[in-house]
Amino acid sequence: MDERIELESGNAKKSGSILVLNDTDLITPTDKDKNHIEIGNDEVSISQKMSDTLNVGIGDTVNWHIMGSDKWVNTKIDRIHADPISQGLIMSPYKLEELGLNYTPTSIITSDHVNKTYDIIKTTNTHEDIEKDWDGISQNMWLFIYILSFFACVLAIIVLYNLGLMSFTEIEREIATLKVLGFKSSALRRLL
């Protein structure tokens, strides 16, 4: 289950997502040093960025609700995970039901190929799909880096050309001024 939620702690409010995970090795939450962390059936983990935004840590309590629902839930933070894409909470289906919320799977991530469609499931992702999406994102990122590098080189060439041209123009004016003042060409050659 991956749903949009709204979290609040003190005066800070932020929207994020809740990720409810069954026991699987396909999604592995990690800490900020990319070490695998185990989130127990009775534990709740908050993302590092969301933790910083709401100014909460392990042992603190956050209020949250699923978008479209009026039921607010108080939850104690047991772990902090690092996730570069999705910001919010991670918990098990048991913890979600313990909090009085209905656990309804909305997406499947599997290493098997799924041909069947389900009414409640919004998305079905295989490991290959996720890898293909990640490769596409990486290719777009590299293209963006190449474009930025190209324009940086063009800009450097234009700036250096203009600086050289400006320096040449200034020297030309200085020589003209010295000629008007009466300096001979041989004296100007020695000066330069």
Domain that holds residue 48: 2-104
The reply to whether 147 and 65 lie within a common domain is: no
DSSP annotation string for 12-79: EEEEEEEEE--S-SSS--B-TTS-B----TT-EEEEHHHHHHHT--TT-EEEEEETT----EEEE--E
pLDDT band at 103 (very low <50, low <70, confident <90, very high): confident
The reply to whether 30 and 75 lie within a common domain is: yes
Q: Tell me the pLDDT tens digit for each residue of 138-168.
A: 999 999 999 999 999 999 999 999 999 999 8
| Per-residue tokens: 174 | 């200085």
Asked if residue 48 is part of any domain, the answer here is yes
Residue 4 DSSP label:
E
Which strand (E) or helix (H) includes residue 177? helix 127-180
Our CA angle for 106, 28, 8, nearest 5°, is 65
End position of a domain, from candidates 85, 104, 123: 104
Q: Tell me the pLDDT tens digit for each residue of 29-53.
A: 888 888 888 888 899 999 999 999 8
The reply to whether 25 and 68 lie within a common domain is: yes
pLDDT band at 1 (very low <50, low <70, confident <90, very high): low
Asked if residue 88 is part of any domain, the answer here is yes
Lowest mean pLDDT among 8-12, 164-168, 177-181, 183-187: 8-12
The reply to whether 99 and 147 lie within a common domain is: no
Asked if residue 125 is part of any domain, the answer here is no
Q: Which residues contact 33 (CB under 8 A, 6 or more apart)?
A: none
End position of a domain, from candidates 104, 127, 150: 104
Asked if residue 115 is part of any domain, the answer here is no
**pLDDT of amino acid 2:** 63
CB neighbour burial string for 60-70, b if at least 16 within 10 angstroms, e if fewer: eebebbbeeee
CB 23 within 8 A of CB 6: no
Per the prediction, the chain carries an average pLDDT of 86
Q: Read off the CATH number of the domain in which 59 is found.
A: 2.40.70
The reply to whether 91 and 142 lie within a common domain is: no
The reply to whether 10 and 77 lie within a common domain is: yes
- AA identity, residue 151: F
Q: Give the total number of structural domains in the chain.
A: 2
Q: Tell me the pLDDT tens digit for each residue of 51-93.
A: 998 989 999 999 998 888 888 999 999 999 998 778 889 998 8
**pLDDT of amino acid 21:** 86
The reply to whether 90 and 29 lie within a common domain is: yes
The reply to whether 83 and 142 lie within a common domain is: no
Asked if residue 96 is part of any domain, the answer here is yes
The reply to whether 72 and 147 lie within a common domain is: no
The reply to whether 10 and 81 lie within a common domain is: yes
Asked if residue 123 is part of any domain, the answer here is no
